[in-house]
Each structure stands twice: as structure tokens, then as C-alpha cells.
Amino acid sequence: MITNNATPPAWTAQGVHEDLITCIKKYASKGSSVLDLGAGAGALSLKLANAGYAVSAADWMIESYMPENIDIKKIDLDSKESILESYPSNSFDFLVACEVIEHLKYPWQFIESCSQLIKDNGYFFLTTPNILERSSRVNMLVNGWPISFGEKSREEGGHISPLFPAQVINMFSNCQLNVIETLPIGSYSRVKLLQYNIKGFILLLLANVLSPLMVKGNKKGNVVLFVGAKTIVVALSGKGL
């Protein structure tokens, strides 16, 4: 673990952490317990702590984690057993998985495990690349893959699981999580995103031209945030049921 006073880098698109915490404040009061999954260098953990939350963190690579006063556990987030053996059920008021699920082999299993750690009436805040963003849609049409999930992204960024919003909502609903809000957040530099080439310029031009035809799904924002509320299942019994 790194032990210095430097500011941890935020390994995500510009504005994602800020938009995420703004959303969290609508649902979770100060002092609430939170588990930051896939915490990386600790940028989001630190921002959550500064916002008044009681933060714990987990990641499979903890050597880069910089905050000294926040506990972090080494966990394989692709292993249900590793997650559930590390924390008791119903441990946290809310969980955050910011730009994590697209790196995992077993996203269904991950969400199911996360749901078990959330207290009744708690929340799960999950972000992932928005593959329905307009440039991403055109890239799927032209190149056959959404932005952030090409060969370079798989090799360098480890993005292996692109997810449509409908898939995430289905996963949540099957894991006692009711999706109460979805919204686009963050943005990448267009120059960086399109990799400085003429093909990228043409892609952006096509996205602008075809945008009016994209009537379904959220075509704005490079990242999409899902807010899930853990529902309480009440067993009914008695005559007439």
C-alpha cells in the first residue's frame, strides 16, 4: 500500500466521481457505511470519506491504494466466495462499484454477491461504460464493437464485459434490487476517445448526423449510473392466500 499524502488518481472519465457522489447524497445520509468495490488507488474512497461517509474498500490489487486511514481488503471480485467470506451479509448501508463490472468475467454473480452485503432498504450505485452513447452506437455499426470494448481496450484496460442497460436492470431485479434511477455521467475527451485519426472524425460526424434516429436508450454520457434500492421480500401466509 502506498503511504504518502499525494492525491490518488481517478482512473475514470472526467466528472464521474463528482456526478456519482452528487447522486449518492440524494439517497444516503452522512455517516452511512459504504463499501467501495474495485477501489483502485483510492480516489473515490477519499471523496466519499470527505463527504462524511464511513468508508471501507476492497480490490484485488491493493498495492496502489493510497488513503492511509481507510481499511482495504484484498478480494477477488470475480469470486462470490471471496466477496461473501470477507464481509457478513447486510453489512453496509450502500455499496459503490464505479467502473468495475466491465472488468469481470461473471457480472451476474458479482451483483448477486453485492446484494447480499447491502442492508434492507440500502442502495447499490453501479457505473459502467455507456455502450448506447451515440458514438458507441455508430462504432458498433461500423466496426462491430462498442467504444471502450475494442481490442486495445481489452488488452490495456481489461474491458471484457459490455453490458446494455436492459441487462443491468434485469440483473438488479433478479437480485432484490429495484432500479430507481439511471443517468448518464462523465465524459471523455473527444480527441482521446477517437484516437486522433480521420476514421474517428468520420465516426463522430456520423454520430451527429444519425443522432435524431436514435430514439431508444440513453445516447448521452460516456458512463451510465444505475441506482438500485434493496427491496424487502415479505413472506405472506394465512387463510385466503
Which CATH number goes with the domain that contains 70? 3.40.50.150
Q: Residue 176, exposed/middle/buried by CB under 10 A (0-12, 13-18, 19+)?
A: middle
Spatial contact of 97 and 225, defined as CB atoms under 8 Å apart: no
Virtual CA dihedral for 119, 121, 125, 130, nearest 10 degrees?
Answer: 130
Task: For 146-175, write each residue's pLDDT tens digit.
Answer: 878 877 766 766 899 999 999 999 999 999
- Whether 72 is covered by a domain: the verdict is yes
**Cα–Cα dist 24/141, whole Å:** 35
Spatial contact of 193 and 138, defined as CB atoms under 8 Å apart: no
pTM for the model stands at 0.86
Task: For 9-44, write each residue's pLDDT tens digit.
Answer: 998 888 999 999 999 999 999 999 999 999 999 999
Report helix, strand or coil for 140.
helix
**E-strand stretches of the chain:** 33-37, 54-59, 72-74, 92-98, 118-129, 177-185, 223-230
**Cα–Cα dist 171/73, whole Å:** 25
**Cα–Cα dist 37/87, whole Å:** 12
- Whether 44 is covered by a domain: the verdict is yes
**Low-confidence winner among 135-139, 140-144, 200-204, 218-222 (lowest mean pLDDT):** 200-204
- Whether 4 is covered by a domain: the verdict is no
Task: For 113-151, write each residue's pLDDT tens digit.
Answer: 999 999 999 999 999 999 988 777 777 777 778 878 877
Of the candidates 18, 4, 27, 20, the residue with the CA atom closest to the CA atom of residue 180:
27
* Phi, psi of 47, rounded to the nearest 5 degrees: -65, -35
- Whether 207 is covered by a domain: the verdict is no
**How many domains, in total, are found in the chain?**
1
Report helix, strand or coil for 227.
strand
- Whether 167 is covered by a domain: the verdict is yes
Q: Which domain holds residue 71?
A: 16-132+157-189+218-230
pLDDT at residue 197, as a whole number: 56
- Whether 210 is covered by a domain: the verdict is no
- Whether 42 is covered by a domain: the verdict is yes
- Whether 150 is covered by a domain: the verdict is no
